[in-house]
């Protein structure tokens, strides 16, 4: 399998081509530094993303911005979004307060990036 990846580690945005199967990488091309090699390998074998979204307050008209405390495996993102959609926050919420602990067993928490008074 060949995967074309844009490296997002720095603004150069190198186009990295990674070829392999599963976690076995046969070749990697297009990087301009060692950080790109690492990024390309991880993105090929085990892509992760910081999840950024909103949760609803008890009053449906208010949205609280949240994000994951660490990158989440890409294959868990949709499941995490389903869990987040079920949540309604009530009362005061401080910035960086944990809204959901260990979401979907990912070891990441969903934390507020804004506050509610
Ligand atoms: S490969 Fe290196 S130079 Fe290219 S975008 Fe990634 S970090 Fe930047």
pLDDT tens per residue across span 9-19 = 999 999 999 99
Q: Where are the domains of the chain?
A: 2-46, 52-112
pLDDT tens per residue across span 54-76 = 999 987 689 999 999 999 999 99
Q: Which residue has the tokens 């999840």?
A: 51
Q: Per the confidence metrics, is the pTM higher than 0.85?
A: no
- Report the nearest-CA residue for atom 1 of ligand 1: 36
Best CATH choice for the domain 52-112 from the list 3.40.30.10, 1.25.40.10, 3.10.530.10, 3.30.1490.100: 3.10.530.10
CA 9 to CA 14: how far, in whole Å? 9
CA 54 to CA 84: how far, in whole Å? 8
Cα(109) to centroid(ligand 1), Å = 29
pLDDT per residue of the chain (117 residues) written in tens, 0 to 9? 999 999 999 999 999 999 999 889 999 999 999 999 999 999 999 999 999 999 999 876 899 999 999 999 999 999 999 999 999 998 899 999 999 999 999 999 999 999 998
Q: Is the CB of 114 under 6 A from ligand 1?
A: no
The pLDDT of residue 117: 84
The pLDDT of residue 61: 83
Q: Is the CB of 12 under 6 A from ligand 1?
A: yes
């Amino acid at each position: 399998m060949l995967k074309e990846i844009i490296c997002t580690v720095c603004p150069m945005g190198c186009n990295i081509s990674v070829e392999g199967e599963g976690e076995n990488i046969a070749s990697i091309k297009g990087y301009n530094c060692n950080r790109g090699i690492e990024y390309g390998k991880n993105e090929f074998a085990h892509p992760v993303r910081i999840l950024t979204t909103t949760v609803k307050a008890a009053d449906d008209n208010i949205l609280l911005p949240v994000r994951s405390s660490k990158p989440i495996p890409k294959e868990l993102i949709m499941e995490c979004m389903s869990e987040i959609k079920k949540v309604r926050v009530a009362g005061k919420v401080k910035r960086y307060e944990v809204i959901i602990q260990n979401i979907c067993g990912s070891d990441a928490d969903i934390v507020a990036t804004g506050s509610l008074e």
